[in-house]
Structure 1
Amino acid sequence: MKATIYVIIILILVSCSSVKMTDTWVDKELIISKPKKVLVVGLTDNLTARKIFEEQLKTKLKNRGIEAIESYNVFKPTFTSLKQTEEDIQNEIVKLTNDGFDAILISAVKGVDEKESYSGDKYIVDYYWRGFGLYYFLYQDVYLTEGYYEKYKVYHIESSLYNLKTKDEKSLVWVASYDLVDPKKINSSVSKYVKAIINALEKEQIIPNKL
């Protein structure tokens, strides 16, 4: 019965977009200084997804008393479309600190996996299939009918918060990895991802709760 319940949960997860944190780390010493002005960066070549992500996260941070600005309003278009040297990036960081930014929250897609799920409508949740004949009768469509297995994608995304005010190289405050499952609609998928980030930052007391 446990195996049956486990499979049902998997089917629910892949039937619609979902976000799951897979790993996280936080520097307890650096979170003493709460961020006041944050640059929000979505590192992706999908400009629509980037804008939606940055705007939604900016709004959530502002609702918690934190000034936040989207990177597409700060960086020149060539900064994200062309490969930058370490010197270029350091020069940009200096500009950001001079403009009052004390933190950067950046998200990047680290990889994409293609998965396959069972999508039949005859899944039995009890032991009626104890006999081979009935079992075979009920599940023969699994290989006879096209579409019983559905492909979907899992995006592995990493979000990191950096403190720009530190005087050494140890500026990473928080990092978390997420699996974004089957993001068919950009708006709803991004909303779930942004909510997951905010929940994690609040849980670690890096940002205050909503005002």
Structure 2
Amino acid sequence: MKAIFQKSAICLVIATMLAACSTTTMVSSSWRKPAATANGFHHIFIAALTREVSTKQSIEVGLQSLLEQKGLKVTKSGDVFPPTFSTRSGQQRDLVLGKIQETNADGILTVNLLRRETETHYVPGSGYWNPGMRWGYYNRFWSYYNNWYPQVYNPGYYDQTKVYYIETNLYNAKTEELIWTAQSKTYDPSNIKSFLKGYIDAIYDRMVKDGLINAAPGQ
């Protein structure tokens, strides 16, 4: 029995370690314009709304690569507007929309970090319990206590998790109408590559589920 318990404990530790190596993104809510169809969007203009140039480039390059693997054509805002470009410095709506429409994109995808938080969770200690066993050392206090006390309990601890709340919007490039929007949460991304993989998979799956885009062949 000890061997079985020890093996189970080792498996639990390994599973926890593997889970810690991955980045999880969950789409908490989404909305699609009722008239929107899956056939209207094949070329996406991506705009990561951040002033940090390196982060913007990483997000847009990563999204371009992953979305192209899904069968979509992509244009990055970083290839159209210089790093110093800002609508607050006098550039106007017609200029921005004109540049986007020159790419022949039919959709505009914006990615915006709404906020970042740190969640603290108490992870309780683990123990072993099997009420179905009513023989052997279970029948005497000392035999039970002496058998399990050294190994049955692991003390609890507090775990902190970084959570990124992200809003993703898709607009019609010609009419500017909001076609689809989603809010998502990403937990503890270890790096930008890890974040992008989990994020784009979750967003893409929700787009397909909402009937906004068609799944790529073979998926």
* TM-score class normalised by the smaller sequence: 0.7 to 0.9
Match of 1:75 in 2: 81
SS for the counterpart of 2:92 is helix
| 1:113 Cα deviation from its structure 2 partner | 1.4
Q: Tell which deviates more after alignment, 105-114 or 92-101.
A: 92-101
| 1:55 Cα deviation from its structure 2 partner | 2.3
1:191-210 pair list within 5 angstroms: 191-210=197-216
Q: Deviations over 1:104-155 (max 9, x none)?
A: 11111101111112357x4226478xxxx97xx947x44xxxxx31222111
- Any stretches of 5+ residues in structure 1 without a counterpart? 1-7, 143-147
Q: 1:88 aligns with which of 72, 92, 111?
A: 92
Cα 1:173/1:125, change in 2 over 3 Å: farther
**Residues 1:23 and 2:29 aligned together:** yes
Match of 1:35 in 2: 41
Q: 2:65 aligns with which of 59, 67, 82?
A: 59
**Residues 1:123 and 2:132 aligned together:** no
Contact in 2 for aligned 1:23/1:177 (Cα 8 Å): yes
CA distance in 1, matches of 2:180, 2:84: 28
| 1:32 Cα deviation from its structure 2 partner | 5.8
TM-score, normalized by length of structure 1?
A: 0.72
Equivalent pairs counted in the alignment come to 185
Bigger radius of gyration: 2
Q: 1:157 aligns with which of 166, 179, 193?
A: 166
Q: 1:114 aligns with which of 118, 123, 132?
A: 118
Return the letter of the residue paired with 1:113: E
Contact in 2 for aligned 1:64/1:208 (Cα 8 Å): no
CA distance in 2, matches of 1:93, 1:152: 39
Cα 1:85/1:162, change in 2 over 3 Å: farther
Q: Tell which deviates more after alignment, 104-113 or 196-205.
A: 196-205
Contact in 1 for aligned 2:115/2:164 (Cα 8 Å): yes
CA distance in 1, matches of 2:92, 2:153: 62
Q: Deviations over 1:23-44 (max 9, x none)?
A: 1000021336511321112223
Cα 1:95/1:185, change in 2 over 3 Å: closer
Match of 1:5 in 2: none
Return the letter of the residue paired with 2:96: E
| 1:161 Cα deviation from its structure 2 partner | 0.4
Return the letter of the residue paired with 2:126: Y
Match of 1:173 in 2: 179
CA distance in 1, matches of 2:73, 2:27: 26
| 1:75 Cα deviation from its structure 2 partner | 1.4
SS for the counterpart of 1:30 is coil
Match of 2:5 in 1: none
Return the letter of the residue paired with 1:193: Y
**Residues 1:186 and 2:192 aligned together:** yes
